[in-house]
Amino acid sequence: MADVLIKAREVRTDSAGPLRILGRANSFNVRKVLWVCDEIGIDYTREDFGRGFAPTDTPDFLKLNPTGQVPVVIEGDRVMRESNTIVRYLAAKHGATDLFPEDAAGRQAIDQWMDWVAYDITHALRGAFLGGQLKEAPYDHPWYVEQGQKELVHAMGLLNQHLADDGPYVMGDRFTIADIPVGLVVNRWFSLTHPGLKRPNYQALADYYELMTERPAFRRHGRNGLP
C-alpha cells in the first residue's frame, strides 16, 4: 500500500487529469462524492483508503486531511475534505445549477437539509447504526443504541412529513444535491436490521426511496446492497 500514499507537497498539479477521490467505496461520505460526480458527469479515479484498506492515520495522509477521514478529493493542486462541502463545490464549479442554484436563498434552502443530515442524523446513527448494527464500541452500549434509535425514528418522521407535504424530492419538484445525503440516509434507514428498532411505516419515505432508485447513480452508490 505504500505506493498509494501521497505526500501533500507531491500532489500533482495536472488540472487536466481526472478528479482523484481517496476513500473506500463503501463509505457513506465517499458515496456522496461518487454520486454527485456521476450525476454531473465528472471524470474521476478512486483509491481505496480507510477501514480495511490503506490507513488514514499515517503522516502522509494526515498532511492531506488532518482529521484522518475519507473522502479526500484532489483536483490539480487543490486538496479537499468534508463530503458535503466537496459536493457543493463540484456542483458549483461545474455549473450544475439544476442541482445547486446560483442564488444565495436557493443554496441556503439546500444547505440546511445537508447540514441537518451531517449533524442530527449522523448523531442518531452513531447509536442506531454503529452501535446497534455494527456493534462498534463505544456506541454499542444498550442505552446509547436505544437512544440513537429513538432519535433516528423521530428525525425520519420529520423527513417523512416534509416529503409528504412538500415532496416528492427534498426541494419539492426537482432533484438537487440535498437529495444526495438524504437519499443515502433513507437507504440506510431501510437497511437497518437491529431487532430493537421499531421502524414506523413512513409511506412518504418509502415512496421517496423508490423515486431515488430510478436514478442510475443512486443504484450504483446508494441502493447497491450496502447500508
Same domain, 21 and 51: yes
Q: Which of 68, 93, 118 is the last residue of a domain?
A: 93
At residue 16 the predicted structure's pLDDT band, cuts being 50, 70 and 90, is low
Residue at 57 is within a domain: yes
Residue at 227 is within a domain: no
Instruction: Please give the Cα distance from 31 to 217 (Å, whole number).
Output: 10
Same domain, 89 and 112: no
Same domain, 37 and 142: no
Q: Residue 127 belongs to what domain range?
A: 104-221
Q: Which of 60, 93, 126 is the last residue of a domain?
A: 93
Burial 145-169, CB ≥16 within 10 A → b, else e: bbbbbebbbebbeebbeebeeebbb
Question: What are the pLDDT digits (tens) for 81-133?
Answer: 999 999 999 999 999 999 999 999 999 999 999 999 999 999 999 999 999 99
- Contact by Cβ (8 Å): 155, 194: no
Question: What are the pLDDT digits (tens) for 141-172?
Answer: 999 999 999 999 999 999 999 999 999 999 99
Same domain, 47 and 86: yes
Same domain, 75 and 49: yes
Question: What are the pLDDT digits (tens) for 186-221?
Answer: 999 999 999 999 999 999 999 999 999 999 999 999
Domain count, the chain: 2
Residue at 214 is within a domain: yes
Q: What is the mean pLDDT of the chain?
A: 93
**Full-model pTM:** 0.92
- Contact by Cβ (8 Å): 28, 226: no
- Contact by Cβ (8 Å): 157, 202: yes
Residue position matching grid coordinates 436490521: 193
Residue at 108 is within a domain: yes
